Chains A and B, each alone.
Chain A
Amino acid sequence: MLIIKNLTIENFRGIRLPLTMNFTKGGKPTSVIVYGRNGTGKSSIVDAWEWLLTCKIDALRKEGVSEKDFPHKSSGGDNSFVQLELNHPTIKAVKSKFNKNKITSPLYEGNYSEFKALCQHPNHLRYADLQAFVFKTKTDKYKYIARYFGLENFSKNQEGIQFAFNKVNTLLQIHQADLQKRTSEIKALIKHNEIDDVAILEYINSIATRYSLPSIKSFSEHKQVDDGLAKIVGKNPVTQELVIWRSFLTKLTNFYPGDVNEAECKQLKDAYEDLRKDAESIKLLILSSLFENSLEILPKLDDPNKCPVCNKPFEGDLYKHIEAQHSVLKQLNSKKREFDRLKNTLENNFKALERKLKDVQKDPSQLVLDTYGYFFTCVEKLGAALPGIVNSFKGELKDLQAVDICSQEGFSYIVNIQGLELEIKRQVKERIVKLETDENSKTLASDYRDLSFVCKGYIEYKVLDTKVAYLGRVYGYLEKVFNELTLHIQSKIQNIFNAISADVVDYFNVLEGHNPYIKNPELKLMAGKDKAIELEIEFASEKVIPAFKFLSESQVNSFGLSIFLASVKHFNTSFKFFILDDIVNSFDAYKRPRVAQLFATKFSDFQILLLTHDQVFFDSIQRDFPEWQRYKFTGWDYTTGPKISLARNYVEEIRKQVEEDNPSVAGSILGRYIEWILGQLNQRMETPITYRVENIYTMMEFYNPLVKRFKDKLKKSDKVHVLLQYFDDFDTSTIFRNYCAHYKNEATPFTATEISEILNKWLVIEENLFCKDCKSFIQYKSAGDTYIKCECGKLDLRDDVHYN
Chain B
Amino acid sequence: MNDFSQWLENLKQSNDEIRHSVEKLETFFNADGFNTQEFESILNKGLKSIEVSVPKKIMMPTDANN
Contacts and interface: CB of A to CB of B under 8 A. Distances in A.
A137 to B, nearest CB: 20
Given A150-B3, A153-B31, A470 B58 contact: no
A153 B25 contact: no
A159 B33 contact: yes
Interface size bucket, A side?
35 or more
Contact of A481 (B21, B35, B55): B21
A363 B53 CA distance: 26
B22 to A, nearest CB: 6
Given A157-B29, A466-B54, A164 B21 contact: no
Contact of B54 (A218, A459, A478, A488): A459
Interface in A697-730: none
A161 B34 contact: yes
A474 interface: yes
A153 B6 CA distance: 12
A160 interface: yes
Interface string B35-66: 11001100100110011001100111110010
A462 B36 CA distance: 28
Contacts of B21: 476-478, 480-481
Main secondary structure of the interface of A (DSSP, over half): helix
Given A153-B31, A467-B50, A163 B4 contact: no
B1 to A, nearest CB: 12
A480 B17 contact: yes
A221 B4 CA distance: 54
A480 B18 contact: yes
Interface in A234-263: none
A217 interface: yes
Nearest to A222: B59
A160 B33 contact: yes
A317 interface: no
A153 B55 contact: no
| Centre residue among A160, A163, A219, A471 by max chain B CB count within 10 A | A160
Interface string A114-155: 000000000000000000000000000000000000100110
Contacts of A154: 3-4, 7
Contact of A164 (B17, B34, B62): B34
B34 A160 contact: yes
Contacts of B58: 219-220, 458-459, 462
A167 interface: yes
Residue among A153, A156, A167, A171 with the highest chain B CB neighbour number at 10 A: A153
Interface in A476-497: 476-478, 480-481, 484, 488
Which among B24, B31, B33, B55 has the highest number of chain A CB atoms within 10 Å? B33
A219 B29 CA distance: 43
Given A156-B33, A459-B55, A480-B18, A470 B4 contact: no
Nearest to B7: A488
A221 B61 CA distance: 8
Contacts of B54: 459, 462-463, 466
A153 B3 contact: yes
A396 B11 CA distance: 50
B13 interface: no
B39 to A, nearest CB: 5
B11 A470 contact: no
A217 B65 CA distance: 13
Contacts of B28: 160, 164
A167 B7 CA distance: 25
Contact of A474 (B17, B29, B43): B43
B32 A156 contact: yes
Contacts of A217: 62
A168 B46 CA distance: 12
A466 B22 CA distance: 22
Contacts of B24: 474, 477
Given A459-B54, A484-B18, 7 more contacts: A153-B33, A157-B34, A160-B36, A171-B43, A219-B59, A462-B55, A484-B14
11 contacts: A150-B3, A153-B3, A153-B31, A167-B40, A167-B43, A171-B47, A218-B62, A220-B62, A221-B61, A470-B50, A474-B43
Interface of A: 150, 153-154, 156-161, 163-164, 167-168, 171, 217-221, 458-459, 462-463, 466-467, 470-471, 474, 476-478, 480-481, 484, 488
Closest 7 CB pairs of A and B: A160-B34, A156-B33, A218-B62, A477-B21, A480-B21, A153-B4, A160-B33
Interface of B: 2-4, 7, 11, 14, 17-18, 20-22, 24-25, 28-29, 31-36, 39-40, 43, 46-47, 50-51, 54-55, 58-62, 65
